[in-house]
Structure 1
Amino acid sequence: MKQVLLIGLLSLGLIACQKEQTEPKEDLLAKQQFEQADQKIGVYLDILDNQNTSKQQSTKIICEDYPRTYKADYLPKLIKLSPEYTEQKLLKHLDEALDYYKNKLDIECAK
């Protein structure tokens, strides 16, 4: 009985280890892509917070670059890595951030 239990536990341990080895490659790639998108967004925010940034550059970031990077790169990777985030919640966060900078920098995006 002890041998059967020991073999069963070892089998479960091996299966768990094998499963962990196949999933991290996908997760690692998603994590790297997420970190790249997060870094890009961080650069955008640094530029927007810089008082010396031109209104033209700020407008381009707020109206084009930031939302495109957020929706195409950041959002899907974050949802993949952390399923507790939903697209709806993250789009709400995006809108809040964009509204903040639009108000702060007096920018209107063409629709």
Structure 2
Amino acid sequence: MKIKILITTLFFTPLTGCNKQSNPPKNTAITAQLEQSDKKIDKYLNKLYCPNTTQDTRIQILCRDYPVEYKTKYIPALLKSSPDKYTEAKLLANLEATLNYYKNNFKIKCSN
């Protein structure tokens, strides 16, 4: 379990750690949206590893909730706050890699 947490931490540090260390965006509405979305994503990831989380809940998170939150709220806010640091293509690639990791880890296949 410690290895899974370490891998998760190392995997997500470039996504969230760098964002929090950069200069805060000038637009407080964008900052608030980014922080709120980041908290929601963290909540999803924490729930995935909770031993009491059912497989159906993990499917809901990985196939619906997490990707929707990331694509509709996190990416737009991050691009507005740091347009020179990130591209939509790079963020979508990170999302895909993250989802694939968790789907493989929890043996989940989304029906799309």
Structures share fold, TM-score greater than 0.5: yes
Per-residue deviation, residues 64-85 of structure 1 (Å, max 9, x unmatched): 0000000000000001111120
Q: Which residue of structure 2 aligns with residue 94 of structure 1?
A: 95
Residue 51 of structure 1 and its aligned partner are, at CA, apart by 2.1
- Percent identical across equivalent pairs? 44
Aligned length in residues: 87
Q: What CA distance in whole angstroms lies between the structure 2 residues aligned with 1:52 and 1:95?
A: 25
- Superposed CA RMSD in Å reads 1.2
Q: Secondary structure at the match of 2:108?
A: coil
Q: Which has the larger radius of gyration?
A: 1
Q: Could you tell me the TM-score, scaled by structure 1's length?
A: 0.76
Q: Could you tell me the TM-score, scaled by structure 2's length?
A: 0.75
Unaligned residue ranges in structure 1 (runs of 5+) = 1-22
Q: Which residue of structure 1 aligns with residue 41 of structure 2?
A: 41
Q: Which residue of structure 1 aligns with residue 68 of structure 2?
A: 68
Larger fraction in helix: 1
Q: Secondary structure at the match of 2:67?
A: helix
Q: Secondary structure at the match of 1:92?
A: helix
Q: 1:70 is matched by which residue type in structure 2?
A: Y
Moved over 2 A (4+): none
Per-residue deviation, residues 44-95 of structure 1 (Å, max 9, x unmatched): 0000121221000000000000000000000000011111200000000100
Q: What CA distance in whole angstroms lies between the structure 2 residues aligned with 1:92 and 1:48?
A: 21
Q: Which residue of structure 2 aligns with residue 107 of structure 1?
A: 108
Q: What CA distance in whole angstroms lies between the structure 1 residues aligned with 2:29 and 2:110?
A: 34
